Structure 1
């Protein structure tokens, strides 16, 4: 936009005949005199100079807008709403529309007669702004010069406050050199010269929001209090003038004709503003959106206002929604087919809307391509899109478009979102990545990791796992982490908060232990990279361990969501389970699924935590992503097939996870390896001995562990070999597993070693050891 302070010198007026007129009217200058007018006619300054017109307008309560139009206005919640319109032809013929009374026959004759003696000046566009209107300063932030797309001045838009809202004065320059409070027939947009060479257009209700964006982009205002800088600073920003009841006065067709890649309409935060935005959206093609603020923003809020304090924490860090989260689709979804006879009209999906959506057959979902992780069930999609559709079932219209069709929904971290042909089918990848890496000092992150994982060897294992999770989305590690500290408040949950910020909220879920273990529904697992459980405690029961086992390692899972048939999805979930109990999760001695590092039992003060959270809620996530990239480059990453490394803490957890019977089995195994001869025991004898040690009458006691449970424990003892399953030797008509304190050579037959078979007495296990 030309600088108003440097354009005060009068410039030549271009005899262009004024601005373009509204659609459906003649493009001829509406303010030009009739060709038959004579030089003897006198110029008038306003319609008030023509007494018959002035009397008529006063009688019907109308306000002149210019020499050719008047309106009857009513105040509605701070807006001036036109309810009736008067159009005056060049010869004085009056035409009315809306809620307004026509002139009487006497009044019309008087107006026609008066028009024979007058002529009117014309609106002019200027290459520079002359001296401003009386009492108006161009430096006033409430004064907005408006230009056409060629950079020519058209109108000064002056904003002022009233007790009930806001008002506007349209100042235009006329061919007689005078400023008048008259608006052109077609209102200009504020900010048009800045729209050149931009792909994205923001359309603001009024000039203030567009002007604030312009001033921040040009460096006249700081970005410090505006959290959406990245989304707006490279876009064009214009303001439509006149408010929600003046939408039809702007030339939307010409604006839409400039070929925008994306259009975002920013109305005031109220119902009328949203309805006006919806009307404007119909003028544009594909990729049109409405920026809809939620109830944390004040009523009437626009981007010219400061963001509400509630959206910032105590340290001034923004904690509100992103701009993307506030967007709702506004491209008109359907179009009417040409009439082909009688009956109800037929609608199909519009060509503008089709590129914005995709659908999947399994599960039945509709996806917004600009926000692929936001997929909708059909009924939810229909309700959401109904305001911009002619039909109730828009989903059916989407299904009819072949370019929208996909066989199945995919979740493939590391791949671009969108269409992927996988395993002979056409899928749609809904994965969206997290924060982008950014430079900065990772010191706060490293301090946090040193606090949470105080043992250096364990910390390196945890850092390698975390760096792989963040920097290598195409790798799914086959083990998770179990974080246990008996002291509460050491900061385990902070890890979940940080990873949510880095990986993206839609890729992380925080289910309860009950949701994981007790519920048949597992929507918390679908389309997630991280499952973080803050409070996990299952005691020594194997139920939780066994239920989680396939979820940690399997590549595909069945997703069971309420109201939807089960469907298969690739499993990209990693698990972090946190607990304050050593009995958090039963772990087998041969467990390969959980890294169990030592976690701090100490605490940090509030100042330390406040400083860390300020960093995490500001530049921290991008810096952590950069740290992860550098870490895997320097130190490597966890390969997809690796098993969880052993730790001292894990061995202690495994020990505490063992039942009493398992502990007896291990004691027996250790006793066997201490013997100086090779021996073999039948599993039935081992169980009988354990039952005796525990004071049970016999092995039928329900409290006694199953054979497999006992064998899993005893074979963890170094030097013990177990023959089970298909290797079980035959004893008469039955087969039984056996335990031995040596390793038979490969291919040995039972007949060759059965002479080592003995009983409990034969290994002196009936004596204390």
Structure 2
């Protein structure tokens, strides 16, 4: 009986393989492949048993009856070697080192071991100008020979022996990227430690095992993925190369892994074909205070859930398989009964109706009606959905005592210590009054660094010129630092006319770029409850209304001084003075460049260390600009009354004026218009201007009337105590408004 090292040595087999265009992969395995650029797809796998039986994965490539008979006959007197595993260290065979320089061995030779740590295979990287890059397998066989063949059975995963004790595994496309990441995360040498410091996602990718699948992006089915689950892995991240074949492999890998599975999906910001062993694009780094800092996408921004949803079990005698939901997939989603939506536990801002859920998961399940299977399988459901920025857990007991899912997603911009001067300079320009600038810095720091705090007031920025920097602060600084999923930009029409208010649901920052366009009073009244209410009733199109806790902070802007109607008792808004002269264009250019080059990270570090924050119970501070805004929102009569009140307050002699005389005076001026100038509002206007009102009405001209007085009257006539007021004292100092503020002739 002759020993044959490969089916290629048997004439009948060689003729058959030549006819179908197959190539030998192992002693008794061949494949037919299609080339797709630098990738190939194994479209048919042909296995030969030791007795000469042939198994073809595709009927089109099966041998003819004559070929099959000839092959079986040739196998009768043939003995086949088996690929061996080896315990301990293995010397690289000399024939494998041909064309490899001594200083290239470490980079061009890859050693594969199984989960038990036994040697399985070497892989040699060959670079050719004509054929590009290729990886050649070398295995050791029980006849004592090394052969340039794959091992028998499934292809090995590089690094699988290191998986023991790790809950999380990163699966890279190819051994090169996996080996590089293992070295980067575990090597103690100075070179690797320095590289790790500069690696953008080191924090997220350390404390995990790194393995590599081989055989090409188009052939992930040739790997035994079940061994990951057998080794106790709890979570898998697949890192395919940045090209279409790599992305196409994700679906097949997901289907074969019965574990929570996520994909690291590179975008066009990375070079085509990029993997984690390649240099990162220079544009993703910037100089911050002399240090090179990463400013590209965060790890969390490139992650997507690709956990496969279903099993398809063949049923004897039936064409259709029995479909069931995998337990691991059930753990990835929560069904919220109150709103009838599916919420992703990994990405809770992803909330889908049943129709949306079915479409979203169609690529990763065997059915287009997955929601029905989820309900039938008893998947986890909860009574309600909550939005709790201060909580880090995903599932918790709500204030009402029911199980709930927390849909808040934090901002993933990491703090970086550095000079925050560009931001401070911008804020001092935008808010020229020092005390008001200090209050705005405190409000911004609280919003950024204290997600567990809901401040009791919003901010309103008004400037008659456009391009002052209001949008820069709101949309380009605060929004990314709060987290874009926690921000909305409703229009004034959304606020005052739409029946839907999902723009405020599960948001921490509401940016209104122009709050006044003809409906100012209605907008203000609509916003009153939103600014202060603890809970919201949310009305979303095509969803059941639901109640959720209100965490919204308002950042409203306008180019009109009539943006909102305010009074002196309104503590819902902080209204600082805004710069009226534009910053030079070059300063804005420099600020945006700084923000893009890591400035946002510096601002986060500043906010987390600011030390002065707004408490939930703090009212909005008063400001000069707010007083101006209150005056601008007055009716004509209120403005006249305020002017009178100011004149009374400024008089140095004791002065008293009855509100009856004020109303007569206003009527003579054509006042008491229909826009809210009631007696109560007139008195408020005068008090706001500095007047004081006696606590009890005084009988004047046989009618009880309110009386407005100045400080001199309280001091000199009443001895500082307004309860000492009498009709006689008031009458002695009663003055006609016309004498205090004469009408224009």
Is 1:714 equivalent to 2:679 in the alignment?
A: no
Q: For 1:169, which of 126, 136, 140 is the aligned residue?
A: 136
8 Å CA contact 1:540, 1:658 repeated in 2: no
- After superposition, the C-alpha distances for 1:510-567 in whole angstroms (9 at most, x for unaligned) are 3344433454433221111122334454589533333322222222233233333433
Q: For 1:146, which of 81, 102, 112 is the aligned residue?
A: 112
**TM-score using structure 1 length:** 0.79
1:237 corresponds in structure 2 to 210
> Which whole-Å CA distance do the structure 2 matches of 1:710 and 1:348 have between them?
72
> Which whole-Å CA distance do the structure 2 matches of 1:606 and 1:440 have between them?
24
Is 1:188 equivalent to 2:161 in the alignment?
A: no
Is 1:130 equivalent to 2:109 in the alignment?
A: no
CA-based RMSD = 4.4
Distance 1:91 1:412, change over 3 A: closer
2:165 corresponds in structure 1 to 197
User: Which structure 1 segments of 5+ residues have no match?
Assistant: 1-40
1:284 corresponds in structure 2 to 257
Q: State the SS of the aligned residue for 1:123.
A: coil
Distance 1:690 1:157, change over 3 A: farther
> Which whole-Å CA distance do the structure 1 matches of 2:6 and 2:322 have between them?
50
Q: For 1:210, which of 160, 166, 178 is the aligned residue?
A: 178
2:615 corresponds in structure 1 to 639
> Which whole-Å CA distance do the structure 2 matches of 1:462 and 1:239 have between them?
51
Q: State the SS of the aligned residue for 1:188.
A: coil
Q: Decide which moves more: 217-226 or 86-95.
A: 217-226
Matches within 5 A, 1:41-120: 41-100=1-60, 102-103=62-63, 107-108=67-68, 110-112=70-72, 114-115=74-75, 118-120=78-80
Matches within 5 A, 1:304-383: 304-305=277-278, 321-335=297-311, 347=323, 349-383=325-359
> Which whole-Å CA distance do the structure 2 matches of 1:740 and 1:165 have between them?
93
Q: State the SS of the aligned residue for 1:498.
A: helix
1:556 corresponds in structure 2 to 535
> Which whole-Å CA distance do the structure 2 matches of 1:501 and 1:70 have between them?
54
In the TM superposition, what is the alpha-carbon distance from 1:154 to its structure 2 partner? Answer: 2.1
Matches within 5 A, 1:190-589: 190-217=158-185, 218=187, 219-220=191-192, 222=195, 227-269=200-242, 272-294=245-267, 302-305=275-278, 321-335=297-311, 347=323, 349-399=325-375, 404-418=380-394, 419-434=396-411, 435=413, 437-486=415-464, 488-496=466-474, 497-537=476-516, 541-589=520-568
Aligned residue pairs: how many? 715
> Which whole-Å CA distance do the structure 1 matches of 2:669 and 2:131 have between them?
88
- After superposition, the C-alpha distances for 1:234-262 in whole angstroms (9 at most, x for unaligned) are 32221211124533322222232111121
In the TM superposition, what is the alpha-carbon distance from 1:486 to its structure 2 partner? Answer: 4.8
Distance 1:642 1:491, change over 3 A: same
Q: State the SS of the aligned residue for 2:13.
A: helix
Distance 1:299 1:461, change over 3 A: closer
1:28 corresponds in structure 2 to none
Q: State the SS of the aligned residue for 2:41.
A: strand
1:19 corresponds in structure 2 to none
> Which whole-Å CA distance do the structure 2 matches of 1:723 and 1:531 have between them?
41
8 Å CA contact 1:417, 1:431 repeated in 2: no
- After superposition, the C-alpha distances for 1:152-191 in whole angstroms (9 at most, x for unaligned) are 3322334556878864422223345543221112211122
> Which whole-Å CA distance do the structure 2 matches of 1:463 and 1:432 have between them?
24
Q: Decide which moves more: 739-748 or 435-444.
A: 739-748
**TM-score using structure 2 length:** 0.82
Matches within 5 A, 1:691-706: 691-694=667-670, 702=674, 705=677
1:33 corresponds in structure 2 to none
Distance 1:378 1:92, change over 3 A: closer
> Which whole-Å CA distance do the structure 2 matches of 1:350 and 1:111 have between them?
43
Distance 1:607 1:212, change over 3 A: farther
Distance 1:154 1:346, change over 3 A: closer
Q: State the SS of the aligned residue for 1:59.
A: helix
8 Å CA contact 2:515, 2:523 repeated in 1: no
> Which whole-Å CA distance do the structure 2 matches of 1:286 and 1:688 have between them?
82
- After superposition, the C-alpha distances for 1:265-305 in whole angstroms (9 at most, x for unaligned) are 23345565445322322333342223344566666554455
8 Å CA contact 1:533, 1:576 repeated in 2: yes
> Which whole-Å CA distance do the structure 2 matches of 1:478 and 1:519 have between them?
25
8 Å CA contact 1:128, 1:152 repeated in 2: no
Distance 1:103 1:262, change over 3 A: closer
Q: Decide which moves more: 249-258 or 166-175.
A: 166-175
Q: State the SS of the aligned residue for 1:473.
A: coil
> Which whole-Å CA distance do the structure 2 matches of 1:728 and 1:431 have between them?
58
